[in-house]
Structure 1
């Protein structure tokens, strides 16, 4: 069992407690957002302390299009540059760049974006508006090109050679994998091998620090957790976190620990669950205050940052300290077993599906049993 040590605490906004913590991939920086709040907060978590920078204040809410009333209910989309201390925030048809010196003047863009993600090389911003489209933007020049459709955020494999994102509808969700493009503005190059999930409303996929596992939180109908091994995509674990709506779990409540195969889960009671995804052993770390957890992430230095429903943030260290695992080059194995989706035709016509136990080349799930192709 891991011991958790409190490094720092900080009081935040109790009226709009943080519901999403977005970590910088390499620097000890974390951004925090909340639904119905126009404030994007940023913290430095380095050196075992919590220091808050000047936030991005988007000002009074704009009057939304009646057909898109839900925009006022969602948090502003944000994305960290993979190398620099640069955060991009979307607000309607503008983008604001934040650095430690403060936010920039908003820049006009051609669409209102719901999701943002940087390409692994940091030269392209992938941006998803409403509808079945997406854009690839070169932030240096402002140029943009149409890109393959995706939604619900982008997970970058630790190698930087592969990304995972979702394409959803009410009947099913595909977890799609793609290679980053070469020249900005470069769109994702989607691959044929895809995970198929049961419903919609899943959260952004989450690669472990060593790249050996992929966790997916969802969905719109139940508080669930699915973990897959990578590169095989074998389903390692599936778990229902709550059986009914009596106790809603936070949506952004997963973080991979520094020990390989350990996933931390924030709970509505305030405790943290330490889950070994291979052995399925779970250890509960109670919260002295018992305040529900509203968001959770692991910082670039391996500490856990926990947001609570009363507005407090806590920075926790895992002890005894464990060296961060090195990423395993299993992307080469994955890429050798698939190919890029042809640019023409329907996406579904070209995908090779897996549900974590079998593989088939048809959207009809009954074909999986008929194909008789188990995962390796």
Structure 2
């Protein structure tokens, strides 16, 4: 069991409590967003303190296209540069760059982006508009090239050599793995081996700090949690967080701890669950603020930043403290067993997929083959039917 110590507290916006906390991968910076809010807040979490910078204020909401009414209900997409204190915020057909000196003048882009992610080298911005397309943008020159389709978000393995993202429809979701491209603007180079999940509406995958596990929060129908070992993609845990809609859990409520194999889960009662994914033992820690948790993340230094439904923030330290975990060399193992998808690949035909238990999609000579999934045997819908 880990002891949690409160390092700092801060009041935020009780009218629009933070629903997503996006941390910088290397610096003690965290951005916070909320649905129906045009304000992107930024905090410095270094040195055991919480200091709020000048936010990105996107101003009055634009009148959305009637066909995309839901845009006014979602938070602005944001992405941190992997090295620099640079945050990019999307708003319709513009991008705003934030640094500690404040936000820039918005820059015009060719599409309204729903999701953003930097490539691990920081030279390309991967951007996902609506529809079955995506772009790779070189922020230095403004040039853009079409890229393979992805949606929801991008998880970067701590080695920086592999990323994971989702491709969804109503019946199933593929968790696709890809290598970053070499020259900007460089698109993801998607790989043949993939995970398949049972529905849609999952959150962005989350690699553990040592790269040995991948957590997936979802889905549109159930408050679920699935954890897979990496690189084997063996499912080590699956759990339903809530059985009905009477107690909706926060969507952005997962954070890997500094202790290997420990996943922290924020709850609608305000407590934090400390889950050992291998033993599946759970310890409940009381609420640090007495209000339901609305978002959770782990900072680059390993502290936990918790947002509450009353607008409060709490920075927590795990004690006894642990040194940064060593990143496992699982990417080399994974890459040795797969290959890049051809251009114009058909996922249903060309992927080799696993649900964490069974693997199918390739016959004995390694070529794509018929589905042999247990979910076909029991009549469940998925994308390979």
Question: In the TM superposition, what whole-angstrom CA distance separates every residue of 1:224-248 from its partner, at most 9, and x where no partner exists?
Answer: 0000000000000000000000000
Q: Write the distance in 2 (CA, Å) between the matches of 1:212 and 1:375.
A: 29
Cα 1:260–1:111 change in 2 (3 A) is same
Question: In the TM superposition, what whole-angstrom CA distance separates every residue of 1:61-101 from its partner, at most 9, and x where no partner exists?
Answer: 00000000000000000000000000000000000000000
Q: How much does 1:348 deviate?
A: 2.4
Q: How much does 1:368 deviate?
A: 9.7
Question: Secondary structure in 1 aligned to 2:97?
Answer: strand
Q: Write the distance in 1 (CA, Å) between the matches of 2:216 and 2:232.
A: 16
Asked whether the 8 Å contact 1:357–1:375 carries over to 2, the reply is no
Cα 1:278–1:375 change in 2 (3 A) is farther
Single out whichever of 7-16 and 338-347 deviates more from structure 2.
338-347
Structure 1 residue ranges, 4+ long, deviating more than 6 angstroms after superposition: 367-376
Aligned to 2:336: 336
Q: Write the distance in 1 (CA, Å) between the matches of 2:223 and 2:26.
A: 30
Asked whether the 8 Å contact 2:156–2:163 carries over to 1, the reply is yes
Q: Write the distance in 2 (CA, Å) between the matches of 1:372 and 1:21.
A: 41
Question: In the TM superposition, what whole-angstrom CA distance separates every residue of 1:13-36 from its partner, at most 9, and x where no partner exists?
Answer: 000000000000000000000000
Question: Secondary structure in 2 aligned to 1:370?
Answer: coil
Q: Write the distance in 2 (CA, Å) between the matches of 1:192 and 1:11.
A: 46
The TM-score, its normalising length taken from structure 2, stands at 0.94
Aligned to 2:133: 133
Q: Write the distance in 1 (CA, Å) between the matches of 2:282 and 2:302.
A: 20
Asked whether the 8 Å contact 1:210–1:326 carries over to 2, the reply is yes
Q: How much does 1:155 deviate?
A: 0.1
Q: Write the distance in 1 (CA, Å) between the matches of 2:368 and 2:101.
A: 53
Cα 1:300–1:351 change in 2 (3 A) is same
Q: How much does 1:358 deviate?
A: 1.5
Question: In the TM superposition, what whole-angstrom CA distance separates every residue of 1:320-361 from its partner, at most 9, and x where no partner exists?
Answer: 00111011111000000000000034232210010001111x
Q: Write the distance in 2 (CA, Å) between the matches of 1:165 and 1:186.
A: 16
Q: How much does 1:290 deviate?
A: 2.7
Q: How much does 1:373 deviate?
A: 14
Q: How much does 1:375 deviate?
A: 17
Unaligned 5+ runs, structure 2: 371-385
Cα 1:146–1:330 change in 2 (3 A) is same
Q: Write the distance in 1 (CA, Å) between the matches of 2:206 and 2:267.
A: 18
Q: Write the distance in 1 (CA, Å) between the matches of 2:366 and 2:26.
A: 42
Q: CA RMSD in A?
A: 2.3
Asked whether the 8 Å contact 1:210–1:327 carries over to 2, the reply is yes
Q: Write the distance in 2 (CA, Å) between the matches of 1:144 and 1:207.
A: 28
Asked whether the 8 Å contact 2:88–2:95 carries over to 1, the reply is yes
Cα 1:288–1:191 change in 2 (3 A) is closer
Asked whether the 8 Å contact 1:358–1:374 carries over to 2, the reply is no
Q: Write the distance in 1 (CA, Å) between the matches of 2:326 and 2:85.
A: 23
Q: Write the distance in 2 (CA, Å) between the matches of 1:91 and 1:316.
A: 32
Cα 1:288–1:80 change in 2 (3 A) is closer
The TM-score, its normalising length taken from structure 1, stands at 0.96
Cα 1:375–1:40 change in 2 (3 A) is farther
Question: In the TM superposition, what whole-angstrom CA distance separates every residue of 1:116-146 from its partner, at most 9, and x where no partner exists?
Answer: 0000000000000000000000000000000
Aligned length: 370
Cα 1:371–1:263 change in 2 (3 A) is farther
Single out whichever of 342-351 and 186-195 deviates more from structure 2.
342-351
Asked whether the 8 Å contact 1:150–1:167 carries over to 2, the reply is yes
Single out whichever of 192-201 and 338-347 deviates more from structure 2.
338-347
Asked whether the 8 Å contact 1:307–1:313 carries over to 2, the reply is yes
Question: In the TM superposition, what whole-angstrom CA distance separates every residue of 1:154-201 from its partner, at most 9, and x where no partner exists?
Answer: 000000000000000000000000000000000000000000000000
Asked whether the 8 Å contact 2:173–2:199 carries over to 1, the reply is yes
Q: How much does 1:289 deviate?
A: 4.2
Q: Write the distance in 1 (CA, Å) between the matches of 2:214 and 2:367.
A: 21
Q: Write the distance in 2 (CA, Å) between the matches of 1:210 and 1:35.
A: 31
Unaligned 5+ runs, structure 1: 361-366
Asked whether the 8 Å contact 1:117–1:126 carries over to 2, the reply is yes
